[in-house]
Structure 1
Amino acid sequence: MPHVRPFRFGIITDGAPTREEWITRAREAEDLGYSTFLQPDHFTSDFFPLPSLMAAADATTNLRIGTLVYNNDLRHPVLLAKEVAALDMLSGGRFELGIGAGWNRPEYDQVGVPFERAGLRIERLEESLQILKQSFSDEPVNFTGKHYTVTDLNVTPKPIQRPHPPIVMGGGGKKLLSLAAREANVIGLHVKVNDNGTVDATENIEDTLAEKVGWIREAAGERFSSIELNMLISGFALAHNQQEAAEHYIRKRELTGATVEQVLANPYIMLGTTEQMVERIQRWRERLGVSYLVIYAEYMHAFAPVVTRLAGK
């Protein structure tokens, strides 16, 4: 019988107007039973991860902190390794390293960083992962690749979690998910964004998620059973009438051409009662193996009854 991984939940948040509000948010997340307090890595975010996540860790006891996700193109992997190890050490071993190849082209354009084709960005990420893992070891880093070269460098500090903090990667395409299957501890299932920034309708159905889990299983081989599967819920509303909630969601998001049926079938949108959400999440674990859900901080309190019902079970 396959191993059933217990449910856990996280929130993602990118800033606060005051220190007090940021600290309160972290403490509330911990009190409500969330496992992780996560931050994106964008120039448009209020905070960058290092100082704000450290503040969240200092204000809490067991809450894990992490990135969702660091943009590999914005930092040299040795600099990132030092930052990650420091966060892990100073938080008492509570850091989770989310890292990706970068996807937001307007952000690149704003700061003059070339936005290269996806294959090249993924290739660079693959090299970066090798350097990161070497940096967390007790041996000097020696690496020569197409994009990076590091010679006989002893990187300090070292993380508490060994061999390294959990690595979190996500993606929508086969190439990136296959890399994650070989390298990551946690894999997020996301939609695949086309080169022109659009998303095909087929990306927002459960069968497509099942196909992506199949890619991961194939590439991971024997290590598949040790991988935790994750999803980020982008839309949420508690409602007794799902159809009315879907109609409101379409109007609010100005989803021209979208139908109620499409919205309700979209696995990245949660609309309905707490019981309906609990049943849906349990079905995802049974069919897809997904056991780790992340939701935006604005929904943290409304989603809390689901966390209470399922966390750790």
Structure 2
Amino acid sequence: MSDSCQRNVPFTGHARPMDEHHRPFRFGVVGESVRTAADLVATARRAEDLGYATLTLRDHFTPDDFGDQLSPMVALTAAACATTTLRVGTLVLANDYRHPAMLAKEAATLDHVSGGRFELGIGAGWLREEYDRAGMPFDPAGTRVGRLEESLEVLRSLLSGDKTDFAGEHYRIDGLAVFPRPKRRPPILVGAGSKRMLGIAGRHADTAGILPRALPAGTISDEITERLPGTIARKADWVREAAAGRDVELSMLVSPTIGPDPRRAAARVAVLRGWGASSTDLVLDMPSQFVGPPEHIAEQMIARRDRYGFTYYLVSDAHMDAFAPVIPLLTGS
């Protein structure tokens, strides 16, 4: 195995308490357009060269809005072996697609071969069409979310190297240990949009990825209210309340629009998203929207770190190059 697979790059996402507002920024790429091995390696190396901290992949086996996707755990192993410092992660695995005992084995192995560079992102599963096409039952949200919380307890125990016994409503583990035993438990990110899910992230995750809420019909809400400052502030507060003093990193997938005129860029976003040009001011204030030149975006990110606590931002690979000038402004790299 090459040395590049083995290099250990520590996770620094929870270096300082959130209430100090001094947590360092880090940035990630979501490989939404990766379709081939060549695309994967090129994207990973480009992300590393540009100063991104992570490359992440989605977890879908039917085409969604972003098209067909590679299997994340296998593909991320190849990405780790093609790079030296880049961390790799899932954004996010659907819990229902893998039993936590098997997922812990895969996660421990990927963490081992990457030299400790793996981050496990997981959620409850939400895309009903995918469940239906695969013939899997799409249980009510309460059931899926309860299953995720149990899975997180199992995963945290196994990936901490503990011999695990667990008896819950959905899973039963009897004296199981994982091999290879991680030198340090891989960081866990939970993607969450509802109050219950955000509470689970606060209790169990190292990073809470704040999202629009999933709808009972098996889609993600496109309501503009899900993206407004008051809503995002409440969601961040729900994580902090559940964390009860634990140091939880706040993360968000964002849509940057680089241009010299922030208002004009915001108006373009409002129209493209179907919210109308009258929503331009709303877009300018949305925590998930960053518009304007790199220096302006960096200032926005500092202000939103102070207001909400976000320090880990991810962008689509489609925006990877355009957004890159922001990174050294906030990381000093």
TM-score by length of 1: 0.92
Instruction: Report deviation, 1:199.
Output: 3.9
Match of residue 286 from structure 1: 306
Match of residue 60 from structure 1: 83
Match of residue 148 from structure 1: 171
Alignment of 1:54-203 (within 5 A): 54-160=77-183, 162=184, 164-196=185-217, 197=219, 198-203=221-226
What is the rounded CA distance, in whole Å, between the counterparts of 1:269 and 1:287 in structure 2? 15
Asked if the contact 1:29/1:300 (under 8 Å) is kept, the reply is yes
Instruction: Report deviation, 1:16.
Output: 2.9
Residue in structure 1 matching 2:41, options 2, 16, 23: 23
Q: 1:56 to 1:47 in 2, by over 3 A?
A: same
What is the rounded CA distance, in whole Å, between the counterparts of 1:154 and 1:293 in structure 2? 34
Asked if the contact 2:225/2:231 (under 8 Å) is kept, the reply is yes
Q: What is the letter of the counterpart of residue 36 of structure 1?
A: T
Match of residue 4 from structure 2: none
Q: Deviations over 1:29-73 (max 9, x none)?
A: 111110011111111342111221111111111110000111100
Percent identical among aligned pairs is: 43
Q: Which runs of 5+ in 2 are unaligned?
A: 1-18
Structure 2 residue matching 1:116: 3-state secondary structure: coil
Q: Does 1:221 align with 2:244?
A: yes
Q: Deviations over 1:138-187 (max 9, x none)?
A: 44322111111122223322223x2x100101212111111111111011
Structure 1 residue matching 2:260: 3-state secondary structure: coil
Q: What is the letter of the counterpart of residue 42 of structure 1?
A: H
Q: Which runs of 5+ in 1 are unaligned?
A: none
Asked if the contact 1:100/1:125 (under 8 Å) is kept, the reply is yes
Structure 1 residue matching 2:191: 3-state secondary structure: strand
Residue in structure 1 matching 2:57, options 32, 39, 46: 39
Q: Does 1:268 align with 2:318?
A: no
Structure 2 residue matching 1:9: 3-state secondary structure: strand
Instruction: Report deviation, 1:15.
Output: 5.1
Match of residue 302 from structure 1: 322
Match of residue 13 from structure 1: 31
Q: What is the letter of the counterpart of residue 152 of structure 1?
A: G
Q: Deviations over 1:96-148 (max 9, x none)?
A: 01011011111111111111222111100111111112222444322111111
Instruction: Report deviation, 1:217.
Output: 1.6
Instruction: Report deviation, 1:238.
Output: 1.1
Structure 1 residue matching 2:85: 3-state secondary structure: coil
Asked if the contact 1:131/1:143 (under 8 Å) is kept, the reply is yes
What is the rounded CA distance, in whole Å, between the counterparts of 1:137 and 1:93 in structure 2? 13
